[in-house]
Structures are given as structure tokens and as C-alpha cells.
Amino acid sequence: MAEITPRSQDFSRWYLDVVRRAELADYSPVKGCMVIRPYGYAIWELLQQALDSRIKATGHVNAYFPLFIPNSLLTKEAEHVEGFSPQVAYVTHAGGEELEEKLVVRPTSEAIIGTMYANWVQSWRDLPILINQWANVVRWEKKTYPFLRTTEFLWQEGHTAHETEQEAEDETLKILDLYADVCESVLAMPVVKGKKTESEKFAGALRTYSIEALMGDGRALQAGTSHNLGQNFAKAFEIKFQARDKSVQYVWGTSWGVTTRLVGGMIMVHGDDGGLVLPPNIAPYQVVIVPIGRDNWRETVLPKAQEIQAQLRAAGLRVTLDERDERPGWKFAEWELRGVPLRLEIGPKDIEKSAVLVARRDSREKQSLPMDGLADRLRDLLADVQKSLLSRAKQFRDEHTQRTTSYDEFKQIMEGRPGFVIAPWCGHAECEAHIKGETQATIRNMPLGSSNPGGTCVRCDAPAVAEAWFAKAY
């Protein structure tokens, strides 16, 4: 197998090597679009299930809206169209003729869903509407990167409509918590929840909240967003209802989404020079069994290996058995590259002792475990791997998060060892743009619950209004 570029040598190269060599995704004949291969798609499906069950448990239902949006609908909300127009792909011809009105390939679905909601909502009794959709969207990107930024990507987008501003705000924050929970408990990826600045918010939203994670190279990744749309889209799309006091009012909207980008984030948080390191909760295979033995291993070892596989599967673990005619060492490297959390080695001696050798992918520790009660022991080990990955990622983030009130120091940090920098900020977009121009660092968010640090802005003399988390970002 070809080598993977070491992380320390070239992080970006390392990432691309891992994505291709672990067979997560491949480039496609369409520039900027990727093919998600079965192993990568299995990860996405597990993530989808984790999100979908939580989305439904909080009272939402799934629906599906069309891929094409009439151009006139997209242009109804002025800020929205301005924000998205550089990235929009249009269909101008179909059925052998030029269309009377060109169609937009959805970059997001506020316009089409808002149009439908206007028909569906008449009275306060019709509210709230809590709908989610699983879909693909297209945003024409100049520079693409597998999973993190692709022209077409998969996501879920929630679109809700409420009677009051407070309800919409509660919904926006409830989903932010849901996203943070999935990132931490499933992907073992710690995130910072906070509010975006005006210049970084979603086009057309009142407020945008995000979760931000730190990747292994010290760059931040926006891992999900939740928007309080206020009444902006309701006014643009005429989503009105008769309120309890008989007055006619506009609904309060939210929208929120996470994408296949989360898969890329998970790779960058946990992977090492051996390849992928998958948290057990997202691993398509939590355990791989590799039979060890001489030429006759198919007779001596395989039956026992198959029996163990069946037992573990019956116990609810995701298990695969590598029966290929390759050397065990070759198989070890391959499953290490694919990030399987636990590897079970079974040879004739293990069978004699009624034991198996278990190797952890995260720490590379090995131990012998008795076959008796194996499923329970493995379940405990998997839980421990999951926990260790989260605490390791938290430790890395904490070690790469610094506070400063000095702009000189701020610039030094951004030039040297990157990560999050927490600094007081004046709230002015020009100042934010200036910092970005000089250091490439942007305000990732202003964490929920953080208070005004007082004093002056890290860059200018204006009084600080918020504590901002800065980083260079993907």
C-alpha cells in the first residue's frame, strides 16, 4: 500500500490521502463534486440516524421539497439572494427548449419551503410547523475539498414556523444543543456554541448561531448552524396567520442544517499518521476479526472466528471478519487505515486458551480477553475508546486556545501555532474585516453565556462589547 503523508509534514495532503486510501470518497468527472464511496457513506448513514432520531424526538417530522426553485422565488428575499447569487447554478434549458423562467438548483430551501408554508398556514392553530428535510444542495464553489467544501453536498435542513419570537429563538437554540450533543457524543468532537457576528450570519437571518470545532492542524471548522430568521422570510413570502387575538401576523421562522462536512471534521479531529481513527459510535465496523494461522487457517481458525462474529453481531456490535487470503500484517495495516476501533486477533493458541487478542486503534494497546463474556467486555472497551477520543480532542482544543488583549500577541499566535484566540472585540464589522485582512483570522462565534470582558477591543480603541473566539477557519 502506498504511504500516507505524515500529518506533521503536510496536513492537507495527509487528509486527502486518508480520504482516498480509506475509500471514503473519490473525485468525480464533475469538478468540485465528490463520489461518496460505500465506507464513507456508511459513516454518513450512522450520522444521519443519530441526527434523525434526535430531530424526531424533539417533535420534528421529515418531508421533501423539490430540487428546483423558480428564480423569481429566490429573489424575493433581498439579502438572501444577494448572499447566495454568486454560488447559484441555474437550469435554463430543458426538454429541448429554453425555459420561460430559469430554475435555480437549490442552494438551500427557504424560498421554496416559505412559499409552501404561506399556503399551509392560516391560523395560530396551524403553528408551529416543525419540518426537516434530508436532501442534496448545490453551491458553486471555486475551491473544493472532499467533505469539507464540495459543490454538491448532502445535508439536513430544518425549517420551522412559530407564533412568537421567543418560540423561534427557543427552537434555534434547542437545535444548536442537539447538534452539539451529536458532535460530542457521536463524533467525539468537542464544539463551542455561540452567536455569529453580523457579517458572518446567514443571508437573510436575524441571528445565526454556530457550533465550531478545532481541527488537528489548529484551524477551526464551522460544524453546524442554526438561524433565527425573525419575520424576514415570512414577510418576503407572505406567511401570515390569524393570531389568538384575531389580528393578522407574520410567523417567526427558523432554519438549521448540518452537512457531510461533519464527516470531514471527524476525520481531521481524530485521524493520525496511520490513517482514520473512528469513534465507535460512528464506525461502520466497531470490531474487525483477523484470523491468524498457518496455511490451514481456514480449517483451524476460521470456524471459531465465524462463531465469534455471529455472537458479537447478535449482541448488537457492528463486526466484520476479514477472510481474505492476505497476510495478517497486511490486514492489520488496512484496518488501521480504515480506523476500526478494535481489532480481534484469533490464532490456534488463542483458541487453546479460549481467549482473543484485542488491539485498540486509538492507543494501540493490546490485551488478551477471554472468549467467555467477550461481547460485554468489548462493549465496555468501545465505550472507553469513545470517551478517550473526546477527552483527547478536548485536551487538544484547550491546549490550542489562548486569551489575549494584545493585538501584537494576537498576530504572533496566528502566525505561529494556530488555534482559537479569545479576545475582546468592539462589535464593528470594519474592525473585524481589518483583523481578517491582516491575520486571516475570523470571528468564529461569541460563545453563549460569555460576558462582555470590558476594556477595549483587541485591535482598536473602541470599548469591547463581546468576548469573541477567533481562528483561521476552513
The residues of the shown chain that bind Zn ion, judged by CB under 5 A, are 426, 431, 457, 459-460
Which residues fall within 8 angstroms of residue 370, CB to CB, at 6 or more apart?
Answer: 354, 355, 377
Pull the grid cell for residue 404. Answer: 489575549
Nearest-approach distance from CB 411 to Zn ion, in angstroms: 14
- Distance of alpha carbon 360 from alpha carbon 385, whole angstroms: 8
Nearest-approach distance from CB 202 to Zn ion, in angstroms: 23
Nearest-approach distance from CB 460 to Zn ion, in angstroms: 4
Q: Cβ closer to Zn ion: 176 or 426?
A: 426
Nearest-approach distance from CB 464 to Zn ion, in angstroms: 8
Listed residue (73, 157, 168, 147) closest to 111, CA to CA: 73
Q: Cβ closer to Zn ion: 113 or 457?
A: 457
Sheet holding 129-138, edge to edge: 61-62, 129-138, 152-162, 252-259, 220-230, 207-214, 192-195, 442-447, 466-471, 420-425, 401-403
Q: Cβ closer to Zn ion: 379 or 428?
A: 428
- Distance of alpha carbon 184 from alpha carbon 229, whole angstroms: 26
Nearest-approach distance from CB 425 to Zn ion, in angstroms: 6
Nearest-approach distance from CB 83 to Zn ion, in angstroms: 24
Determine which helix (DSSP H) or strand (DSSP E) holds 128, and give its type and residue range: none
Q: Cβ closer to Zn ion: 45 or 409?
A: 409
- Distance of alpha carbon 157 from alpha carbon 256, whole angstroms: 6
Q: Cβ closer to Zn ion: 209 or 410?
A: 410
- Distance of alpha carbon 104 from alpha carbon 83, whole angstroms: 14
Nearest-approach distance from CB 466 to Zn ion, in angstroms: 11
Pull the grid cell for residue 267. Answer: 476525520
Contact 64, 135 (CB under 8 A): yes
- Distance of alpha carbon 130 from alpha carbon 231, whole angstroms: 16
Q: Cβ closer to Zn ion: 105 or 431?
A: 431
Q: Cβ closer to Zn ion: 50 or 422?
A: 422
